[in-house]
Amino acid sequence: MIFAEALGWLTDPANWSGPTSIPTRIGVHLLYCLGAVLGAAAIAVPLGLFVGHTGRGGVLVVGGSNALRALPTLGLVTFLYLVVGVGQVGVLIGLVVLAVPPILAGTYSGIQSVDAGVVDAARGMGMTGSQRLWKVELPNALPLLVGGLRNAVLQVVATASVAAYVGIESLGRPLIDGLRVLDYGQFIGGAILIALLAVVVDVVLAFAGKLVIPRGLRLTARPRRRAKATDVVEVGGDR
């Protein structure tokens, strides 16, 4: 069976040592993901804060974000590799382009979703525009902002395997090598590693989000429970 072959590849000691070992590839994969998300956040978070706070350029941001989502990452990485000539730079730019839209959307939506009454109250207290942004709007926007970051990280972790196409030893290498020699055990094993890595990273980010987002905001962000048909509603003592 293919899954038995994948398990055999994953448990083979030869794949866990050396410069092309599984731990080394996981480290390279995570390094590119970290660089891409940090680069995207440096672009998308300030832009999302500015547009959400001022209300200027919202249509342009949404349209540009949707256009970036439509770009094929593999095609972009290949194009940049041919133009720039350095695989690492092309891969990072391609992954940054992939990560910008969800972070930008989360930041912009988070600022826009802040209750107008809260902002008006801060304005009535004499807060300046920058004070309202950093002390009122940004803290209340954290749930959606963190959600955008988590979404971006998951997309980048799943897509960073394209780095292997330009010779980088990421977790995409088992996929390419497995297809080239028709070793489907290696191919499935590489896919399993990417999926497990995405799950582990998402769990870590979820825990980090609980530390960053105040409990009150987490509770507010949860959808309210709908009343069931069996619920008993009492009004003035009558049912």
How do residues 6-58 score in pLDDT, each as one tens digit? 888 888 888 888 888 899 999 999 999 999 999 999 999 999 999 888 878 77
Whose tokens are 């300030």? That residue is 46
Contact between 171 and 25 under an 8 Å Cβ cutoff? The reply is yes
Which pLDDT belongs to residue 194? 92
> Is residue 201 included in any domain, yes or no?
yes
Confidence of residue 230 (pLDDT cuts 50, 70, 90): very low
Could you tell me if residue 230 is inside a domain?
no
Q: Is the pLDDT of residue 5 over 60?
A: yes
pLDDT digits 0-9 by tens, 67-87: 777 777 777 777 777 776 666
The reply to whether 235 falls in a domain is no
Name the average pLDDT for the chain. 81
- The two structure tokens encoding residue 35: 């660089």
Q: CA 133, CA 57: separation in Å to the nearest integer? A: 17
Q: Residue 222 burial by CB count (10 A; 0-12/13-18/19+): exposed, middle or buried?
A: exposed
CA distances from 17 to 28, 190, 216 (A): 15, 16, 47
Task: For residue 100, give both structure tokens.
Answer: 């910008």
Higher pLDDT, 157 or 165: 157
Tell me, yes or no, whether 233 lies in a domain: no
- The number of domains in the chain is 1
Asked, for residue 239, whether it belongs to a domain, the answer is: no
Domain presence at residue 236: no
DSSP state letter for 166: G
- pLDDT value at residue 220: 57
Q: Check whether 238 has a pLDDT greater than 60.
A: no
CATH number, domain of 195, equals 1.10.3720.10
- The rounded distance, in Å, linking the Cα atoms of 238 and 100 is 55
Residue 237 lies in a domain: no
The token pair that represents 16 in the structure block: 């866990």
Six-digit token pair at 148? 């955008």
Nearest in space to 197 (alpha carbons), one of 34, 7, 18, 2? 34
Question: Which residue, 37, 40, 8, 74, is CA-closest to 156?
Answer: 37
Give the integer Cα–Cα distance in Å for 186 and 25: 14
Contact 169, 28 (CB under 8 A): yes
Q: How many CB atoms lie within 10 A of CB 36?
A: 27
234 is a domain residue = no
User: What DSSP character marks residue 133?
Assistant: I
Domain span including residue 216: 2-13+21-221
